[in-house]
Chain A
Amino acid sequence: MATDSFSDVRSELQSRSTRTTIDELKKKGLDQVRVIRSSQILELIEKAVDRALARRGVPENPAERQELLTDSTAIFRDMLRTEMQQQQGTAQRNFEELKARLEQDAVEMQALEQRLSQRDTQLSEALARQAELDAELRVLRQRSQAGSPQDLLEELRSLRKEIARPPAPVAIAAPPVAPAANGALEKSIQSLGAELASQIERIGRKVGVSSAAEESQAELSGLFQSIPELEGNLDAVEAKERKASDVSDALARMKSLRGSKGGT
């Protein structure tokens, strides 16, 4: 009897309500929802019980009615509690899974940062070596022909080999890194290495040493011997000229600087 009554109560509730999530409501563009109070639910239960009793021709004995009502309410509350416990359990499980995933990601991130930091250090060292080499090459170039270009070429080659050498294994045990991230990192390091090699080659070309044959100093004044004297009015046309600011201060300062340099 009580079960039948509860069934009526539930159908009454189901007919008057729908189940949905907050996300779904948001997707529908709903910012606000109407909330039904528990007292209203109880009132509904009471009304449903009265209607069920009347339909079955049960006399409206107040004591029996109250007993049935209490029974129905208790069953409803039990079912509601069970339902909520199930939902809470699912949410808790989802939360635990998410937490575990985040912890794993954090570990992987830490490992990646560690590797990146090592690569950065190696890159800085390589750049520093390149800058030193750049300065050395400039000095060698200033020394004109005294140095052998072949030596410079060998130096450039050895530097390139050094940069290309794989990094030494690191003592700190790094946690496993996701293969995709590792691949991207390797790719980026390779790209940097290629860029460095290209820059070294460029420096080599600048000073006339590279894998290509040595460039000799071109004598270009001959180019202008073949330019014919063109007919025109340049001698008859005045060049536009204007007074400019004085440079005597600059010349005097230059002279004094040279004088002070010469004295030391």
Chain B
Amino acid sequence: MGSADQGNHENGTRPAVGTTGVAERPSSVAKMAGKGLDIGTANILAAVRDQKGGIVVRCERNAFLDIQGDVHSRSMLTRLNVPYVVHENSLIVLGGSAFELANVFGRPTRRPMKDGLISSLEKEALPMMQMIIKKVLGDPAQPNEPCFFSVPAESVDKENNIVYHQGLFAGMLQKLGYNATPMNEGHAVTFAELAAEDFTGIGISFGGGMVNVCVAYKTIPALTFSVARGGDWIDDNASKVLGLPSSKVTYIKESGMDIRSPKGREQEAIAIYYRNLISYTLQNIRNRLNMGRDLPSFTDPVEIVCAGGTSMIHGFIEVFREEVQKIKFPIAIKGVRLGKEPLNSVSQGCLVAAVSSME
């Protein structure tokens, strides 16, 4: 853990060669610092630069599961590379392994976050999230290393307390030794995906708990807001109609199905809720844009980029385009595309912001 960052230290005096093939100055040690952190309802991702200037993303599911265990179980979990902590005489398995075990045992995972924000229902949410974040982020490469972390925008369809959530994670990262700066999730998408358009356009992050939207003009966020529905909303609703545990629906959803051609009852239900989520989101975007007097006057049609784990299902962008055709947008749209690596976009955007803040 943190090997890439340690590598930065060790190789700091050696000129690093970036992916563009241009040798960087010896002072590149400072440029290698800077991290991007995506604190999502479903996944936590950290984007860091390695010693060669390449990007490495560490990802962990934002979930945990308490299991009964003894000394033998602990050594077995370590051998299987399953992360755990001991808490109040229980073994708590963290991250993706918790999700896998939950499916094996037919139990729901415990989730530290709900609807894009820290959950008040999970009393162990804070220590568990701190563990997961520490695991993916590693130690700071230098004291007070800049770390931009994602935060959701206020929802148009639900009252939520972003200030508390933002302050909480800023405090957590400060304790871990970082200089933490919050960054809107949709804004991070525009940083990662809209460089060719001079960071002008609409970035949409389809996450587990929320959909975050940012209308940006030349890096400046003109309008940010969120819709309090996401991948979890699809899972919860499909699980209710199918009579299956929510984690089972998540598993089916992530097993390579295509929402344009669902096979069987389970996939049909998932596809229906997916289309509903996309349509609901687009209607909210249109309504919000119609209201926005602070919306910039774009001279040219703008690009829409979708990112986030929920957008990774096959057929997503095609269905999204179909639904866009049905909506009369108040601004001209040039095109709709999926991010290069939708799951990584937010963390990469945060990384771009962190590195840029150091220059």
Contacts and interface: CB of A to CB of B under 8 A. Distances in A.
Interface stretch (B49-57, B228-236, B327-335): B49-57
Interface size class of A (residues with CB under 8 A): 35 or more
B257 interface: no
Contacts of B126: 223-224, 227
| Chain B interface size, under 10 / 10 to 19 / 20 to 34 / 35 or more | 35 or more
Nearest to A254: B356
Interface in A219-243: 219-225, 227-228, 230-243
Contacts of B96: 240
B134 interface: yes
Nearest to B347: A244
Contact of A247 (B55, B78, B196): B55
B227 interface: no
B85 to A, nearest CB: 3
Contacts of A234: 1, 83, 85, 94, 131, 134-135
A14 interface: no
A206 B85 contact: no
A264 to B, nearest CB: 12
Interface in A192-235: 202, 206, 217-225, 227-228, 230-235
B267 interface: no
Contacts of A231: 85-86
B348 A247 contact: yes
A246 B19 contact: yes
Given A127-B291, A220-B171, A232 B84 contact: yes
Contacts of B293: 128, 131-132, 135
Interface of A: 127-128, 131-132, 134-135, 202, 206, 217-225, 227-228, 230-251, 253-255, 257-258
24 contacts: A220-B164, A221-B170, A223-B168, A224-B171, A224-B172, A225-B175, A228-B127, A230-B127, A233-B83, A233-B84, A234-B83, A234-B135, A237-B78, A240-B60, A241-B4, A241-B58, A242-B59, A244-B344, A245-B341, A245-B348, A247-B355, A248-B53, A254-B191, A254-B219
